[in-house]
Amino acid sequence: MSVPDDSLFMHRALDLAALGRGYARPNPLVGCVVVGPDNTIIGEGYHQQYGGSHAEVNALASVTDPALLRQSRVFVTLEPCAHHGKTPPCADLLIAHGVPEVIVCNDDPNPLVAGRGLEKLRAAGIRVRTGLLAEAGRQLNRRFFTSQEKQRPYLVLKWAESADGFLAGPHFQQVQISGPQAQLLTHQWRTDEAAILVGTRTALHDNPRLNAREWPGPQPIRLTIDKNLALPPSHHILDGSQPTIIYTHRERASRPNLTYVTLPFAPASAPPAPDLLPTVLADLHARGVQSVLVEGGPTVLNALISNNLWDEIRVFRSAKRLERGVAAPRLGLRGWQSHEKAGPDDLFRYVNW
């Protein structure tokens, strides 16, 4: 019988890890596969929910005959933790079960781990190999790695534009540009990210709910920048139906599911992005918000693009023409990274990582 390629086991661990998307945050996505002495999978698991058991715990618990663990290899997508958090250290668990070899996809950049898990395993005599499918692992956990390495949330910019380059009608008049498939995808993306951000004009003119009504999954935290508290209390974003943060220059008491964060005034001559947006991103990072889907408007989108504060851009381009209106951002990039159809619309994706 031929011996399976080790990358097959790590691919399986990565597939398992992805099942925790949306629910494990702010923890990273982690999958684990236990391969027995006959090179078959005898156990597997993933980190299903924040605060719950880690992938290694679930994988080892699924092994029918624990005695086999002393002859098995463990494939895990991220370095096993070595510290006490909401659960005990996974490195200690692997050592206690006498696992002889651990293969790791990515080292953990979290300062609480950062090599300590690997050191603990090696000190116990366990063979450790790292870097198997490392790029695939970073891509899967790009939100986590961005948060750890750049000290800001992973930023996904999204908009729909007409064939002639407009994203709204004159005077920000709301116009349905994209089709139902694009709308469904947008609701799916909202469950993928920890938060969703719009600017004042979008919140004021569109009165969006900013929730995921058409796709199952966790609801994002709603965010808006409302410097002068211009939004009327009747607007959806203030209805308290889901956690919401309003960034403003004014003082207002917070209430359940609605947090007001007062930002300092910037000099009148200063452009908004270098002063305001980094402050917002720093506050979100401090709150453990790892990713943000930015759905507009043009002021926020253009400010983030011009200051290179983005990781992905997703643009729906419709065949409709508006002739006039609010111009969509002009990217000026070398080209799109991928292109696909979303019903009648074209979806272009750009990456910045």
Using CA atoms, how far apart are residues 260 and 253, in angstroms rounded to an integer?
7
Catalytic residue positions? 56
CA dist 116 and 128 (Å) reads 13
21: its two tokens: 């998307």
Cα(274)–Cα(35) distance, integer angstroms: 50
CA distances 261 to 278, 283, 337, Å, are 14, 9, 36
- Residue 42 one-letter amino acid: I
CA distance 188 to 180: 12
- Taking each helix axis from N to C terminus, what angle separates 272-286 and 298-306, rounded to the nearest 10 degrees? 90
Interatomic CA distance for residues 246 and 86, integer angstroms: 30
298/201 Cα distance (integer angstroms) = 9
Helix (H) or strand (E) holding 43: strand 41-46
**Whole-number Å distance between alpha carbons of 144 and 249:** 30
Q: Rounded distance, CA 258 to CA 237, Å?
A: 9
Three-state SS sequence of 85-119: CCCCCHHHHHHHCCCCEEEEEECCCCCCCCCHHHH
